[in-house]
Amino acid sequence: MKERILAETERLFWKYGVRSVTMEDIAKQLGISKKTIYQHFTDKEEILYQVMLDKMVKNQSEMDCMPAKMANPIEEILSVMTMIQKQADQVNPNFLIDIRRYYPKAYLLFRQYKEQFIVQSILENIQNGVSLGLYRSDVNPSIMARLRVEQIELAFNCDIFPTNEYSMLEIQRELMHHFVRGLLTEKGFTIYNEHVNTKNEYNQSVYEKK
Amino acid sequence: MKERILAETERLFWKYGVRSVTMEDIAKQLGISKKTIYQHFTDKEEILYQVMLDKMVKNQSEMDCMPAKMANPIEEILSVMTMIQKQADQVNPNFLIDIRRYYPKAYLLFRQYKEQFIVQSILENIQNGVSLGLYRSDVNPSIMARLRVEQIELAFNCDIFPTNEYSMLEIQRELMHHFVRGLLTEKGFTIYNEHVNTKNEYNQSVYEKK
């Protein structure tokens, strides 16, 4: 039952944000009583916390499996970012806004995850790309890693990117390709161009050869 | 006297942020009484508002004079950004943080300026660069313009870039060059490389040829 509650609540949070989803909604959706939910969780914030924790563990193990399959850091960073994009596109922008404003414990968890895991994994990717001559040797990897992480969150900010003007997918794709291109050396560009022109998922017609 | 108060207060705000500077400090610094200040301004927020308004008008007229002298959009964007960088380096990061948190009227002014003037001027630069074949034709100019403006603010965020780890100048320069490089076509790279390699102010030894 606990797993069912978590799975269904996650779906509701992604779709509507956190604040507008009530315990009543969750119970109704599952066809159970609120009492049953309270047997497993003390309140909505506890469910949120557990949903986020599970998601982070799942993401982390997915990413851990990735590098082995990847031919090079450029392919790796584009794959990881495409994964993040796909997830971001399913999430109501209110989700992150709600967490930042109203759920400090969950927000702290997100920030810690971001700091310890996402920044770290992008940092390693950049260092790896520099050592292979695919990224410029004059970048500051830690500034760039932090920039990239903030860009993911930036896309969720409706004050900056009003949802009626831009789609989440469009923003994330635009920021991702701009970020990677800003790092590349000439050698890197060759690999990047091959990659975006052979993979349909990157919409080859849009990304012209440099 | 009004001008003297504004000039001195601006200097104090830049150096220490807004919150920690008192009317007492301003009076002391000018060798005048607080009463004299209150003859010209109702409170600190009014001085702040006027300081920011003056600065924005000054910036705008400086930027308006620029494009005529500039050979191309790449030189233009690097010059404008270098100007912003130099200013940013003189400002205590607390300045913008204080305004965002405690001075809503001044923050609204800053946001309006950002939206109407800075975003607009970057947007025009990008459109101009695209039409000249110096920037990629597949960028979304309005997403990129908004990204750039947010990056300027991002550099002031001590949670993201702790002041004991990075200097403001280092962050701004890193973000600026990464931003411009992410836009360039091959034709654009040729001009960019010439520009960063001939102007000492961009520290030619650091920016390797692509």
**pLDDT (0 to 100) of residue B160:** 85
CB pairs under 8 A between A and B: 73
CATH number at residue A158: 1.10.357.10
Cβ contacts of A15 within 8 Å, gap of 6 or more: A92
Contact A146 B160 (CB under 8 A): yes
State whether residue A137 sits within 8 Å of chain B by CB: yes
Is A46 within a domain? no
Looking at the predicted complex, does its ipTM rise above 0.95? no
Is B110 within a domain? yes
**What is the DSSP annotation of A26-74?**
HHHHHTS-HHHHHHH-SSHHHHHHHHHHHHHHHHHHHHHHHHHH-SSHH
Angular region, B119: left φ>0, alpha ψ -120 to 50, beta rest:
alpha
Is B113 within a domain? yes
Q: What angle (nearest 5°) sits at the alpha carbon of residue A149, between those of residues A147 and A151?
A: 70
**pLDDT (0 to 100) of residue B205:** 38
Is B46 within a domain? no
**pLDDT (0 to 100) of residue B182:** 94
From chain A residues 144-183, the ones with a CB under 8 A of any chain B CB are 144, 146-147, 150-151, 154, 160-161, 165-166, 170-171, 174-175, 177-179, 181-183
pLDDT at residue A206 tops 80: no
- The structural domain count of chain B equals 1
pLDDT single digits (tens) A13-53: 988 889 999 999 999 999 999 999 999 999 999 999 999 99
State whether residue B206 sits within 8 Å of chain A by CB: yes
Taking alpha carbons only, the member of B30, B40, B121 closest to residue B81 is B121
Is B19 within a domain? no
pLDDT single digits (tens) A116-153: 888 888 999 999 999 999 999 999 999 999 999 888 88
Contact B150 A161 (CB under 8 A): no
pLDDT single digits (tens) A71-122: 789 988 888 777 777 777 777 778 888 888 899 999 999 888 888 888 888 9
Taking alpha carbons only, the member of B170, B175, B203 closest to residue B162 is B170
Question: Of all helices (H) and strands (E), which one includes residue B44?
Answer: helix B44-69
How sure is the predictor about B85, in pLDDT bands with cuts at 50, 70 and 90? Answer: confident
Residue of B107, B114, B146, B177 to mutate when probing chain A, most A C-beta within 10 A: B146
Is B108 within a domain? yes
Which residues does chain A have within 8 Å of residue B108's beta carbon, measured at their own beta carbons? none
Q: Kindly report the nearest CA distance between residue B171 and chain A, in angstroms.
A: 7
Q: How many other C-beta atoms are found inside a 10 Å radius of the C-beta of residue B43?
A: 11
Contact A161 B182 (CB under 8 A): no
A111 neighbors A195 (Cβ within 8 angstroms): no
More confident residue, B113 or A132: A132
The boundaries of the domain holding residue A169 are 51-202
Which residues does chain B have within 8 Å of residue A178's beta carbon, measured at their own beta carbons? 139, 144, 147, 179, 182-183
Contact B178 A183 (CB under 8 A): yes
**Amino acid present at A186:** E
Is B9 within a domain? no
Is A207 within a domain? no
